Each structure stands twice: as C-alpha cells, then as structure tokens.
Amino acid sequence: MQSADNYSDLFNRIDASTIAADKALRNKEWTTLGLELNNGQSLMEELGVCDNALTEIVATMNKMPDIVGTKISGSGLGDCVLGIGVLNDVDWIYKEILVKLSARGVEHES
C-alpha cells in the first residue's frame, strides 16, 4: 500500500501530465499529446486503477503504427480506451475469445 506522501507525489505527476496534455491538445501537437496519454496511462497503472483487459487493449493499440498514444478513460477501470491516431481493425484474442478491436469498439460474435 502506498503512503500518503507517495499518493501526493503520484497525484502531482498526474496533474502535471494532464496540464501538458491540455497544452499539446490546444497547440495541435499530436505526437506530444500521444506521449502524454501514454504517460497518463502509466500513472493510472501505478495508481492501480487499470485492469488486465484494458491494459491489453492499450498495449494492442500502442503497437499500431498509426496510433501515437493511448490511455484509459475516466478515473480508472474506465469504460473505454482513448487513442490518438487512426485505429486499424485488428482481430484480438482475449481469454480465448476472438474479438475485433476497431473504431466501433470491441466486438465479438456470440
């Protein structure tokens, strides 16, 4: 378990990353924004608010050549993953279930 000082430091780093991402977005600096999303994602993982499924989606998207950065939405265990760039459809196996990861979301046939 983290101490209050460790959480304070972590929250300060999250704040700094959010400010940097906002600046990059306002200046249309997409690569910098992507880097800040990746940084923010690492901080969410450090905070312990990202589950295995979301971590795998982030990793899969980050391997795509036209994605410059990804991050879970919300305050953790978010309902989606935000990516900057162009998402190419990809077949993805999660817990032995074949799904398609696309701009429409994660889909599978029942």
Q: What is the domain partition of the chain in residue ranges?
A: 4-107
Are residues 109 and 100 in contact, defined by beta-carbon separation less than 8 angstroms? no
CATH of domain 4-107: 3.30.70.890
Where do the DSSP E strands lie in the chain? 67-72, 81-85, 90-94, 97-102, 105-107
Tokens of 60: 């899969």
| Model pLDDT, residue 23 | 97
107 DSSP 8-state letter:
E
Least confident of 9-13, 41-45, 70-74, 93-97: 93-97
| Model pLDDT, residue 104 | 72
Each residue of 72-85: pLDDT tens digit?
886 666 667 888 88
110 band by pLDDT with thresholds 50, 70 and 90: low
Which of 78, 5, 6 lies closest to 40, judged by CA?
78
At residue 55, the 3 state secondary structure works out as: helix
Residue 10 half-sphere exposure toward CB, CA atoms < 13 A: 15
**Beta bridge pairs of residue 102:** 105
70 band by pLDDT with thresholds 50, 70 and 90: very high
Tokens of 48: 């312990």
Each residue of 5-37: pLDDT tens digit?
788 999 999 999 999 999 999 999 999 999 999
| Model pLDDT, residue 25 | 95
